Structure formats: structure tokens, C-alpha cells
Amino acid sequence: MKTVRCVLKPGREKPVQAFHPWIFSGAIDLIDEGYQAGDLVRVLSADEKFLGTGYLNPQSQITVRMLAFDERAINADFFREKIKAAVALRSAFIPPKVSGYRLIHSEGDFLPGLIVERYGDFLVSQFLTAGMTLWKEALAELLKAVPGIKGLYERSDAEALAKEGLEPNSGVLWGAEPPELVPFEESGFQFFADVREGQKSGFFFDQRDNRALIGGLCRGKNVLNCFSYSGAFSVYAAGGGAKRVVSVDSSADAIDMARVHLEKNGFAAKDFPCLQDDVFRYLREDDSAYDVIILDPPAFCKRKDQVTQAARGYKDINLLAFKKLVPGGLLFTASCSSFIDLDLFQKIIFGAAKDAGRPVRILKRTGHGADHPVSIYHPEGEYLKGILCQAL
């Protein structure tokens, strides 16, 4: 794999000197000819001082993603070191009775464009950039060193691929074919992931700590879990002693899986109903009151120009939720939209509480767990915001 020069415009070197891993097209003055998407580049300032090494894709607005900020070879040994560090981090921070988690978190593990998740005996990978795709074979081979794994399955089918000019790819990279539903454990609960067809790679590990938090607050409570997907929050709520949990999601497949998860963990369907419905409609038309409401919607905002529209959507669901809480009730509300930062999200919740006419106080702000680390030089990686509120 050849390495070419990428020279920045005058004054555009400061973010790279501050170890930010992204270089946008507007910061680049010239790139040597004869490259292909994914090639390694030596990044130089306008006066040709070395700034680091990354990989290139001129089709992407993020033209260069940095791998190293010192003079070092980018080879199998480099990636082996990063993977070994990622595995060590999870070994230190993943609690007992958890066999499903994110093993490699892109920029958070200093491997931009690579996501790897563990589901029990299987790994599921996403190669989301041209640079990581060129290293796919080598990275797959290195992942054989992860202990206790029967196979590696690729699910490179995210929307981000189109921005990179890449085609989706799915299938076994090595080892055994995963079963239709891959079993794994989380905090003593039993779950399954459809790693072939499920959203993302089949499950949302980023809410694990928040599920444990909310589960501990549900004893004897009536709980509503909105945008429930496969019912993980519902299982934790039921496991925490909730009197009743209602799960609502628009996807029939997700609701079917929520029923499977509840039944697998010993919770009867009559006490823990799972409803296929539009959450906005359900919140408007259901006349029940709840002690605890969970709002964990999909990203309403995937582009910067969608922020205003997304803010209205977040305000609507939170306003409706505040109106349905009993006095002293709890609302856990989350946003995984990276363009909605915590400050804006809290202002949205403020507006919803004000319009609902409820005294509301914040009990806790949350994010994702240690298996989704955030580089301090890449604040954009902190995408998940959670706020636990009490409505009086």
C-alpha cells in the first residue's frame, strides 16, 4: 500500500496538532497524484512539517482520517497493538455476566472507521471507510487472537458507506456461520441478536449502564418503554421488580423479539405487553399514567440541516411523556443524534417540561459505557446523551 503526501493550507494544521483525527476537504491544499481511495497519506503543514499519518478518501467530506501523529509504520504490528489495547480495556471494565459488548469503537480506540462487537462466541465487524476496507483481510486475521471466538461476521451495511463510495458487504470472514439468533448475556439477563438483519449489528450495547440504572428504579412501578426495539430496557425493568411494563415500537420484528427476550427471562406476556404502534400516536392516545417512562428513540437527526426538525420531534415526545407521568414519576430520555449536543438536548427537555406545566428536576445525566470510549481529542464521538428527570 503506497503512501502519498497530503499538504494542508496555511493555518489549517492546528486541529491536527491537537490530535483531532479528521481532516476535511477544505483544509487540504494538495495531494500527490497516483493514489486510490484508502491509501495512506503523510500529512504535512503548509511549510511541509510532518503532522502524522492517516488514510485518504477524496470522495468523503472527511478526506483524511488520522491513524498516528508520530513517525511510525502503519502495518499489521500497528493494528495488532491497537486491537490488543482495545481487548485489554474491555477486560478491565466489562462487568461479570456480560458476554455482549463493543470490542472496538472506531475513533475511541484510535481505529477510525472500524467497529467490532462481541456477541458471546461471535464477533461482528463493520468496515465503514475506504481505508479500513483496504485493511479488512489483515484486520480480520488479527481478530483471530481474541479468545473464545468461533467466527467473525461482517455487517458493513451502514448509511456511512455511501459517503465513502463503498458498496455494502455482509458475510462470514472466518470461522463458523453464526446462528440465526446469537445468544449472549448482559447483567445476568439472556438476550439474542440477529446479527445478519437486525438494526446496526443486532443490539444496542451503548445503553447497558443506563438499562442497569433504570432497572434499579422500577420496583413496584408501572413502566412505559417507548421505541423499545427488542425490549432490553423492558427486561431490566421487569427484572428490577416492575409491576407492569408496556413496550411500544413501530417494528413488528422488534416487538416479536421483545416478547422473546421477556419470556426467555421469565416474564409473562400478560404483565409485560409488547405493542406494535407508532410511539407518537400511542403517547397522544393512550390514557394511562406511568411511574417510569423510557424514551430511547432512533436518531432523529443524521445531518446538520435536520437539527431544527429533530428538535421539534424530541420536544414533542418529551412533552407527551411529561404529561403521562404520575406526580413524582421518572422520565429517562435519550438522544443518540450526534448533531444534538447535551446543551441543546437539555434545552429541548426544558421547553417540553415548561409546556407540560410540570415542575421537573434533573437527577442524573448519562452517556455510553466504557466499551464506547471517547477520545478527548474527538468530542464528536460522544454521541449518546441521557437525562433522568423527575416530574413533580
Rounded mean pLDDT, 218-246 = 97
CA atoms of 275 and 57, how far apart (whole Å): 44
Regarding whether 81 and 40 lie in a shared domain, the answer is no
Q: Is the pLDDT of residue 302 over 80?
A: no
Across 48-52, 170-174, 301-305, least confident range: 301-305
In a domain, residue 358? The reply is yes
- Which among 342, 392, 349, 344 is positioned nearest to 365, based on CA atoms? 342
End-of-domain residue from the set 18, 37, 68: 68
Question: What pTM does this model have?
Answer: 0.94
pLDDT digits (tens, 9 = 90+) for 129-164: 999 999 999 999 999 999 999 999 999 987 778 888
pLDDT digits (tens, 9 = 90+) for 48-86: 999 999 999 999 999 999 999 999 999 999 999 999 999
Strand 50-56 versus strand 22-24 pairing type: unpaired
CA atoms of 356 and 380, how far apart (whole Å): 31
Regarding whether 89 and 28 lie in a shared domain, the answer is no
End-of-domain residue from the set 68, 96, 123: 68
In a domain, residue 63? The reply is yes
Instruction: Render 65-96 in DSSP notation, one character per residue.
Output: EEEESSS---SHHHHHHHHHHHHHHHHHHSPT
Q: How many helices (H) and strands (E) does the chain have?
A: 11, 20
In a domain, residue 340? The reply is yes
In a domain, residue 188? The reply is no
Catalytic residues: 336
CA atoms of 371 and 108, how far apart (whole Å): 9
Q: Are 195 and 119 in contact (CB under 8 A)?
A: yes
Instruction: Render 307-334 in DSSP notation, one character per residue.
Output: HHHHHHHHHHHHHHHHHHEEEEEEEEEE
pLDDT digits (tens, 9 = 90+) for 362-376: 999 999 999 999 999
Rounded mean pLDDT, 327-333 = 98
What is the CATH number for 266?
3.40.50.150
Regarding whether 258 and 356 lie in a shared domain, the answer is yes
Regarding whether 362 and 220 lie in a shared domain, the answer is yes
Regarding whether 343 and 228 lie in a shared domain, the answer is yes
In a domain, residue 191? The reply is no
* Per-residue pLDDT, 326: 98
> Which residue segment(s) compose the domain that 17 sits in?
3-68
* Per-residue pLDDT, 2: 61
* Per-residue pLDDT, 159: 78
* Per-residue pLDDT, 319: 97
Percent of the chain with pLDDT over 70: 99
Regarding whether 111 and 26 lie in a shared domain, the answer is no
Q: Give the chain's domain count.
A: 3
End-of-domain residue from the set 183, 215, 239: 183
Strand 122-127 versus strand 385-391 pairing type: unpaired
Question: For residue 284, how many C-alpha atoms fall within 13 Å in the half-sphere facing its CB?
Answer: 6
In a domain, residue 194? The reply is no
pLDDT digits (tens, 9 = 90+) for 11-43: 999 999 999 999 999 999 999 998 999 999 999
Regarding whether 369 and 282 lie in a shared domain, the answer is yes
Regarding whether 174 and 276 lie in a shared domain, the answer is no
Rounded mean pLDDT, 93-105 = 95
Q: Is the pLDDT of residue 210 over 70?
A: yes
* Per-residue pLDDT, 230: 94
pLDDT averaged over the chain? Answer: 94
* Per-residue pLDDT, 307: 87
pLDDT band at residue 259 using 50, 70 and 90 as cut-offs: very high
Q: Is the pLDDT of residue 1 over 70?
A: no
In a domain, residue 197? The reply is no
Regarding whether 124 and 17 lie in a shared domain, the answer is no
Regarding whether 50 and 19 lie in a shared domain, the answer is yes
Regarding whether 357 and 223 lie in a shared domain, the answer is yes
Regarding whether 158 and 30 lie in a shared domain, the answer is no
In a domain, residue 19? The reply is yes
What is the CATH number for 60?
2.30.130.10
